[in-house]
A and B are shown apart, each in its own frame.
Chain A
Amino acid sequence: MVLALVLVILAVGSVIFHIWTPWYSTPIASNWGSIDFAIDITFWITGVAYVIILVFMAWCIYKYRYRPDRRADYEPENHRLEWWLTGITSVGVIGLLTPGLLAWNDFVTVPKDALQYEVVGKQWGWNFRLPGKDGKLGTTKIKFISDDNPFGINPKDPNGKDDVLIEDDDLHLPLGVPIKMNLRSLDVLHNFYVPQFRAKMDLVPGMITFFWLEPTRTGTFDILCAELCGLGHHAMRGTVVVDDKTAFNKWLQQQETFATLYPKAAAGDTQLADNIKGPEKTKTVLSSREISSKKLVH
């Protein structure tokens, strides 16, 4: 009796909690409303199943509780019922999968006209790189990294010269334009996570990963790291500001390029590039130790 009641209370209570919870998704700020839609469908389908199953189980426990004069039914199998249950469950699963995979198809299809931006993660902070007028980012390699070239841009790649370098953790994005975020880690795994964008992806050293989005409202949002990256993981923060076109362009104008910030490296000083091979030649290239201590102490 008590158990049956508790089951019903948990089922109904969970639904009530879900409706009234003070803790739920932040208002969305990107084009990924289809993800929120898939979540809503999943809540509906699974929520109904949850309540039905629990209430039915509670009823069974109450109705068929032990009585010395009762004898349990003997029914090893019931193929009709088993097929019905299989069918209903399959329909539910298809109902979940269809909106999910349709949205995923959009997620993996980057629009051809998407801007190519780059997020650079390192223990424990964020940098960013935006293409110049050519719309293309220069290629990079870890071995090009030095005091004169903290992003490791290939000095021989002409596409890299006009790349805009953001050397702090403050990124601006233009409103209403599809953007492909190319993700690059200089050390361990990280994950570029802005809760309001819904999309996120790991940064993996040795490869360029990506996702795309289209910011749908202006505002300032937190960037968090969502893949464990060591002691400063929880303190690896940044901000992303979504601007309208004019504000964004104004901000962009103020940023400096590879060629202006690091003229020596950008000029293709190959000797400089060739020199950087072993660790001994590149003492404290990125002051990640300073970043970490600064952030950890608050």
Chain B
Amino acid sequence: MSNGAIEDTQVIPAAEIEEVELYHAHSFITKWVFSQDAKIIAIQYSTTAILIGLVGLVLSWLMRLQLGYPDTFSFIDPESYLQYVTMHGMIMVVYLLTALFLGGFGNYLIPLMVGARDMVFPYLNMLSFWTYLLATLILTASFFVPGGATGAGWTLYPPQAISEGTPGINGGIILMLVSLTFFIIGFTMGGLNYVVTVLQARTRGMSLMRMPLTVWGIFVATILALLAFPALLVASIMMTFDKLLGTSFFMPEMLIQGEIGPNENGSPLLFQHLFWFFGHPEVYIVALPAFGVVSDIISTHARKNIFGYRMMVWAIVGIGGLSFIVWAHHMYVSGMNPYFGFFFATTTLIIAVPTALKLYNWVFTLYKGNIHLTIPMLFCVAFILTFLNGGITGLFLGNVVVDIPLSDTMFVVAHFHMVMGIAPVLVIFAAIYHWFPLMSGRFLNEFWGQVHFWVTFLGSYLVYFPMHYLGFVGVPRRYYEIGETSFVPESAATLNEFITIMVLIVGVAQIIFIINIIMSIFNGKLAGKNPWKATTLEWQTETTPPGHGNFGKELPICYRWAYEYSPPGVKTDFVPQNLAPDKIK
């Protein structure tokens, strides 16, 4: 089998499992509100994630206003500034990106792409969303408690997260920790569903090595999340105890507002290890689904098979495994034993190899393709550039000694926004433009899509590329204002102003995008069935959008891999996964 999945076009007999009767909802409430249909749950997840993401967007405007125009806005003081920074970070990383990729795209695409009628545990799936919604509401409530939301930074490092001198140390931090706890509970219910559905509910012929890379990405990311989130859960609970019960898990002997505090022998470093044991895999929890989605969209719109499918799968699995032994590269300046640096720098740079290979393979998929520059394709190309840029700066920060001068500066802010902010968000946009016709039967408006793309792509590059250089100058992150120094040139203020203006413009483009979605649901150009001429099963449903139970009477049978684009000797330039070999023209 030298050519991998392409040769074996005959059916691989899968274990025959009798179809279980689906839960059929009858009332409006059970159909649309407390729904057990993964597609509805996906839309509920996505809507909630995007709404809370908009809150995160506004927070970024506020914090940029302060940095671009210090001493201008009287309502932004150090307290509120730190609250914006903290809540923006946590909302975007956990409540938007994680929820949207796994709860949103995972729910919508996994059953359809593997040829299942629904997730295997629909009731649990419903509970997962409602727990996530509860977590989001608790998080939002923390803005309104006395003292406001926590301003501890999204990393929530103790002791300062729960000590005097930090905003939101009463209600704010507690609601944050409780909200995270609920988020993890909710995610665990959904995550088990995604993993078991992939392992157990694939249709006949859908071997693991025939699955689209989107499913591979979400599948491995979910496994990572199921293993990584417990570390955060434990850390959250322990910190809640430190705050409410006066335990000393993370609290050492220290002064609190100049007076000797009651704690003894706690370890602030222990929290950091737990946090990053979750926090680094978290990067890949967001990135792996993005990798998968990009692979599928590029292949479809370039009319060419993804290059090196098997390597892509093993790269996803390899990156997933390695992501658990690189966490302390976030802690090079934390005061941990410096000899750790040798190990973590090496593992971190090793992980660059499979990641780079994935990127090469996307580019080689374009090579000798027949590239349609549709909006989804534009966003994918923008993703490759942005991710390449963010990956490269990761090589700076992963290489321990290079990290030392750059750590905790604006370089870090620029790096992680490129690599796990903008890059995955560009994929989310690609995915929405790509799958919106499946979800609604209509296209998004092309003109406003072009506007949205160019402003977002170029704008965010102009925001983050120069920001790295502020880090070289030595401007620390999380600074309310840099104030007077002997080393920051005055022109840095001009750059900050420029960045702020770009952030506002890019933000407005997102509002245009939201309006485009709402308008297109009702007025978009009709898409018809399988408008992109894609091979994967979600486009081969009887109706578009797919109805309850996804497929018609019979589940599809999978005859081949997901990338049969422009195969030689076939008239059309694509062969769907479920087209029987004798029907190919």
Contacts and interface: CB of A to CB of B under 8 A. Distances in A.
A177 interface: no
Contact of A77 (B153, B309, B371): B309
A120 to B, nearest CB: 11
Given A38-B402, A71-B573, A93-B349, 8 more contacts: A24-B473, A26-B473, A72-B304, A107-B338, A123-B257, A222-B486, A230-B165, A288-B258
Interface string A52-77: 01101100110011110011111111
A200 B405 contact: yes
B395 A14 contact: no
Contacts of A77: 3-4, 307-311
Given A26-B473, A50-B389, A233-B478, A186 B255 contact: yes
Count chain A CB atoms within 10 A of each CB in B152, B408, B495 and give the residue with the most: B408
8 contacts: A50-B389, A64-B371, A76-B3, A82-B308, A189-B159, A228-B160, A234-B479, A285-B255
B252 A206 contact: yes
B199 interface: no
A193 B359 CA distance: 36
Given A188-B165, A189-B268, A195-B474, A3 B381 contact: yes
Interface stretch (B98-106, B234-242, B361-369, B436-444): B361-369
Given A73-B304, A279-B260, A204 B255 contact: no
A237 B4 CA distance: 61
Interface in A121-143: 122-124, 141-143
A35 B472 CA distance: 12
A123 B166 CA distance: 10
Given A26-B487, A64-B368, A200-B405, A74 B396 contact: no
Contact of A72 (B303, B363, B481): B303
Q: Sorted from nearest, which 8 A-B pairs have the closest CB atoms? A: A206-B252, A195-B474, A209-B335, A230-B165, A73-B368, A188-B160, A72-B304, A226-B408
Contacts of A65: 371, 373
A37 to B, nearest CB: 10
Interface in A77-93: 77-78, 81-82, 85-86, 89-90, 93
B339 interface: yes
Contacts of B567: 74
Contact of A50 (B79, B166, B388, B492): B388
B469 interface: yes
B465 A61 contact: no
Contact of B407 (A76, A203, A226): A226
A193 B157 CA distance: 19
A89 B355 CA distance: 10
Interface residues of A, number: 114
Contacts of B461: 10
B232 to A, nearest CB: 19
Interface string B540-558: 0000000000000000000
Contacts of B466: 17, 21, 23
A179 interface: no
Interface stretch (B30-38, B319-327, B340-348): B340-348
Given A222-B485, A287-B258, A289-B258, A205 B407 contact: no
B404 A57 contact: no
Nearest to B355: A89
Contact of A188 (B159, B258, B370, B487): B159
Interface in A20-41: 21-26, 32, 34-35, 38-39
Contacts of B308: 76-78, 82
B335 A202 contact: yes
Contacts of B465: 14, 17
Interface string A87-115: 00110010011001101100110000000
A183 interface: yes
A39 B487 contact: no
Using C-beta atoms within 8 Å of the partner chain, give the interface range for chain B.
Answer: 35 or more
Interface of B: 3-6, 78-79, 82, 151-153, 157, 159-160, 163, 165-167, 252-262, 265-269, 302-305, 307-311, 333-335, 338-339, 341-342, 345-346, 349-350, 352-353, 356-357, 359-360, 363-364, 366-373, 378, 381, 384-385, 388-389, 392, 395-396, 399-402, 404-405, 407-409, 458, 461, 465-466, 469-470, 472-474, 476, 478-483, 485-487, 489, 491-492, 495, 563, 565-568, 573
A132 B384 CA distance: 58
Interface string A191-225: 10101101111111111010000000000111011
A145 interface: yes
B495 A23 contact: yes
B566 A71 contact: yes
A185 to B, nearest CB: 7
A170 interface: no
A232 B165 contact: yes
Contacts of B478: 228, 233-234
Given A53-B359, A234-B483, A108 B341 contact: yes
B335 to A, nearest CB: 3
Interface of A: 3, 6-7, 10, 14, 17, 21-26, 32, 34-35, 38-39, 42, 46, 49-50, 53-54, 56-57, 60-61, 64-67, 70-78, 81-82, 85-86, 89-90, 93, 96-97, 100-101, 103-104, 107-108, 122-124, 141-143, 145, 183, 185-189, 191, 193, 195-196, 198-207, 209, 220-222, 224-235, 237, 276-279, 282-289, 292, 296, 298
A228 B157 contact: yes
A60 B369 contact: yes
Contacts of A71: 303, 370, 566, 573
A81 B307 CA distance: 11
A236 B461 CA distance: 32
A96 B370 contact: no
Contact of A292 (B165, B385, B472): B165
A287 B237 CA distance: 33
A203 B334 CA distance: 8
A97 B465 CA distance: 24
Contact of A73 (B311, B401, B566): B566
B333 A10 contact: no
B486 A228 contact: no
A278 B264 CA distance: 12
Nearest to B305: A76
Contact of B261 (A82, A96, A201, A279): A279
A127 B377 CA distance: 56
Contacts of A22: 489, 491
B371 A286 contact: no
